[in-house]
Structure 1
Amino acid sequence: MKYITIQKCSELTGLSEESIRALKKKGYFRQDVHWVKAPNGRIFINVKEVYEWIEGKKA
């Protein structure tokens, strides 16, 4: 599974939903790399990229 909701990402990674949104807003999570916006406006997280970011493999 490539894309998941912010809520599910929070459950899997231990990051709060608020911190995920803050990382996105501050630019640590980049659009089209760490997250995408679906045609209906909903945000989905690329969990593979987030895990690599957590592990320090990507800046």
Structure 2
Amino acid sequence: MNTAVAEIIQVAPAPYVTINLASAITGLTRKAIERKIEDGKWIEGREYRRSPDGGIFVSIEGYRKWVERATA
């Protein structure tokens, strides 16, 4: 008897993600994210961080709080 078991896997993003993944998660374009950083609308250590090699990683929690501040 062959019984198949359905397996459900849930994946949550890491606390900090690349700009490309943040774009897919948030719906913002890569350029929009980069512009928010360049214009100082997003603050380093709050909405994003830089890795030791200079890469930019977006804080999912920081993004959530930023959106909630904008709608409050």
TM-score, normalising length from structure 1? Answer: 0.87
Unaligned runs of 5+ in 1: none
Determine what percentage of the aligned residue pairs are the same residue.
Answer: 26
* CA distances 1:5-57 after superposition (whole Å, capped 9, x unpaired): 00000000000000000001111110111111111111101011112212226
Residue correspondence of structure 1 range 2-13 to structure 2 within 5 A:
2-13=15-26
RMSD over aligned Cα, in angstroms? 1.2
Larger Rg computed on CA atoms: 2
Residue correspondence of structure 1 range 25-40 to structure 2 within 5 A:
25-40=38-53
Q: Which 4+ runs in 1 deviate beyond 4 A?
A: none
Unaligned runs of 5+ in 2: 1-13
More deviation in 45-54 or 7-16?
A: 45-54
TM-score, normalising length from structure 2? Answer: 0.73
Pairs aligned (count): 57
Question: In the aligned structure 1, how far is the partner of 2:47 from the partner of 2:69?
Answer: 14
Letter in 2 for 1:56: R
Letter in 1 for 2:42: F
Query: Which has the bigger relative contact order, CA under 8 A and spacing at least 6?
Result: 1
Query: Secondary structure of the residue that 2:46 maps to in structure 1?
Result: coil
